[in-house]
Structure 1
Amino acid sequence: MAKLTLSFVSAYNERVEPLMNGTIQAEGVELIPTYSDPSETFWRQLKFKEFDVSELSLSSYLIARSRGMDFIAIPVFPARRFFHAELSYHGDSGIKQASDIAGRRIGVGEYQQTASLWVRGTLEHDFGVSQYKVDWWMERTEELSHGGATGFTPPKGISFNRIPPDKSIASMLVNNEIDVASVTRAFSRESNIIDRSTHIRAQGGDWSKVKPLFPDRMAEAARFVKQHGFAPANHAYAIRGDVARKYPWLAFNLYKAFFAAKEAWRDRFVESLPSGLFFGREYVAKTREILGDDPYPYGIKANRPMLDTIINYSHEQGLTPQKAKIEELFAPATLDL
């Protein structure tokens, strides 16, 4: 029997790459891969439903589903970061610790994106900084934002501003026009049409005044995991609803393939460390100390605390009108995984 041919879009990710290059295949499926920056992928999929299977922002997925958009997710989460621990501040802002962010100006790529959701939730629940006590500055334009594609606008009571089109998060932070932001994009070689920080990089200016909010990010990550029990996920993968309904077996077969791809990465993880990373094995040992042997657990059972938290944060931040039910967010064939 001929295989089902599906379009598949993802960023490069070591835990997904075996599916992209075909070394691992989903049973009964031939995936036609497209590599794409996540910012562009999510906009394209939310606006045009361009692909059969797509990497998708968890926050945008929750919003899209709350607005009746026709996708169904697979419980695989190969992208995780401690987003609040990546924040930097301008030295002239007077900020010394996370609780000092109240009343300050914070730059984000997009208000609804998952990174911003985790930052807001962590600042509020762990450090007492309400989202209503911060001035938010968003870099993306209305036309090229995920919020523009879903019709989302920030809730009433939020101090919301747009970064001028000739500036970026990075340029505003280094020039003390905002107080706090994550500027990792400004130092990446990757670029995309959605995020201005990838091409307005602000390499000029006095970067010595930009300081990490958490100088020991590993220690802060360990604190977060000890308190919450998980590492925050920001992306999942979703099937277009019409495709999932037509092929009810598809989600389970894709899950198995995603899981096999991740396990292949785990098997060669230490051996594949770049030779230039002199202390790579020490970092691996520290990662395992904080997160255990599997930093990227898949399935609903292993991720229920994380999923409950992101659903709660989404609702309390005004991104979604009610708390979604996990059983309605993921394909029926994956609910017992």
Structure 2
Amino acid sequence: MACRAYDRMEPLRDGTVRPGGAELNFLDLPVEETFFRMLRFGEFDIAELSLSSYVLTLDRGAPFVAVPVFPSRAFRHSAIYVRADSPLTDPAELAGGTVGVPEYQITAAVWIRGILAEHHGLGVAEVRYRTGGLDGPGRVEKLALSLPPDIEVTPIGSGETLSRLLLDGELDAVYSARNPGPFNAPDGGGIRRLFPDPEAVERAYLARTGIFPIMHTLVIRREVYQRNRWLARELVKACERAKRAGLAGLGETASLRYALPWLWAEVERTRRAMGEDWWPYGLEPNRPTLETFLRYSHEQGLAARRYDPEELFAPETLEEVVV
């Protein structure tokens, strides 16, 4: 199993939680490495995978079967970057401009484009897209794309990076799940986020839509799944137990579990905004989020058709066992 050792996955890595009937060799790898190795070579029996990339595999031989476990979720209004001296403060002002994205099909970019089109008046085809490595040259699309003619996507040069092109004024913005390298400097390195107060925008989006965007899902290599159909449900059960164990005590004040002095306050704010289970697994609690993403993927020329959420997951994981 290749997956980052997130707090909600750490009990699977350290063995305190085990799926029934299986022993995991847990590989804690950077997500880009896991995605590349799984999509190109199918190296792992179980892997964390980009939701967008997984959807694109469904009409390309369907080599994987997902379970409704979502290791990574994130609001993405905060993932839009411009130069510090840019006059832009509203996404609609990007119309006619050029935007960098590591890959057109990455999940974060699908969410950003969809949200900006639906809620901020910037159509998907109203900007030109340049793809390539954020801080290191040479990144290419992991999956071949066949896009509508009104969507312009061009790779950057083999020695170029999106961060450098943004600073040099050749890009108007960058959509990136990771912070551009220069942004991590104390002074922001000449880069800022597009929204002056992205947290407020993200909280308003949550209040308006109820959506907490899903980034990654968990997949099983299809031949492994077909030989062991029981594994899908046992994996979901184990991931639920791991999540409960990993998040237990997150807001504890007696002794701080993490080196963040006001984490307890953030936990309380999150509970007020999102309820006790703010990171839900399973199909039904996530249906509106999945339906929205699948609509965006199809509208942006990625998914061959508009899939229903049920089509993404192993059928054994879709119904509760009633006793």
- Corresponding residue for 2:245? 264
Find out whether 1:213 has 2:194 as its counterpart. Answer: yes
- Corresponding residue for 2:266? 283
Check the 8 A contact 1:300/1:336 in 2, yes or no.
no
Residues 310 and 9 (structure 1 numbering): CA distance in 2 closer, same or farther, change over 3 Å?
A: same
Distance, in Å, in 1 between the alignment partners of 2:189 and 2:225 is 51
Residues 305 and 120 (structure 1 numbering): CA distance in 2 closer, same or farther, change over 3 Å?
A: same
- Corresponding residue for 1:328? 311
Distance, in Å, in 2 between the alignment partners of 1:84 and 1:321 is 26
Residues 50 and 245 (structure 1 numbering): CA distance in 2 closer, same or farther, change over 3 Å?
A: same
* Offset, 1:270: 1.9
- Corresponding residue for 1:193? none
Secondary structure (helix, strand or coil) at the match of 1:107 reads: strand
Deviation string 1:174-200 (CA, Å, 9 cap, x unpaired) is 22221112466356xxxxxxxxx6xxx
- Corresponding residue for 1:307? 290
Distance, in Å, in 2 between the alignment partners of 1:203 and 1:304 is 35
Residues 211 and 202 (structure 1 numbering): CA distance in 2 closer, same or farther, change over 3 Å?
A: closer
* Offset, 1:162: 1.7
- Corresponding residue for 1:5? none
Counterparts of 1:178-197 in structure 2 under 5 Å?
178-182=171-175, 185-186=178-179
Secondary structure (helix, strand or coil) at the match of 2:27 reads: strand
Distance, in Å, in 2 between the alignment partners of 1:215 and 1:280 is 23
Distance, in Å, in 2 between the alignment partners of 1:207 and 1:54 is 34
Which shows bigger deviation, 76-85 or 159-168? 159-168
Distance, in Å, in 2 between the alignment partners of 1:248 and 1:174 is 50
Out of 247, 255, 260, the residue aligned to residue 236 of structure 2 is 255
Check the 8 A contact 1:98/1:123 in 2, yes or no.
yes
Residues 51 and 260 (structure 1 numbering): CA distance in 2 closer, same or farther, change over 3 Å?
A: same
Q: Percent identity?
A: 35
Distance, in Å, in 2 between the alignment partners of 1:39 and 1:290 is 31
Structure 2 unaligned segments of length 5 or more: list them.
Answer: none
Which TM-score applies when normalising by structure 1? 0.86
Structure 1 unaligned segments of length 5 or more: list them.
Answer: 1-7, 188-196
- Corresponding residue for 1:40? 33
RMSD: 2.3
Task: For 1:274, give the aligned amino acid.
Answer: Y
Find out whether 1:295 has 2:278 as its counterpart. Answer: yes
Check the 8 A contact 1:170/1:183 in 2, yes or no.
no
* Offset, 1:127: 0.5
Task: For 1:329, give the aligned amino acid.
Answer: L
Residues 226 and 237 (structure 1 numbering): CA distance in 2 closer, same or farther, change over 3 Å?
A: same
Deviation string 1:44-85 (CA, Å, 9 cap, x unpaired) is 111111111010100000001122232110101121111122
Secondary structure (helix, strand or coil) at the match of 1:35 reads: coil
- Corresponding residue for 2:258? 274
* Offset, 1:217: 2.5
Secondary structure (helix, strand or coil) at the match of 1:30 reads: coil
* Offset, 1:225: 0.9
Check the 8 A contact 1:169/1:183 in 2, yes or no.
no
Find out whether 1:66 has 2:59 as its counterpart. Answer: yes
Higher helix share: 1
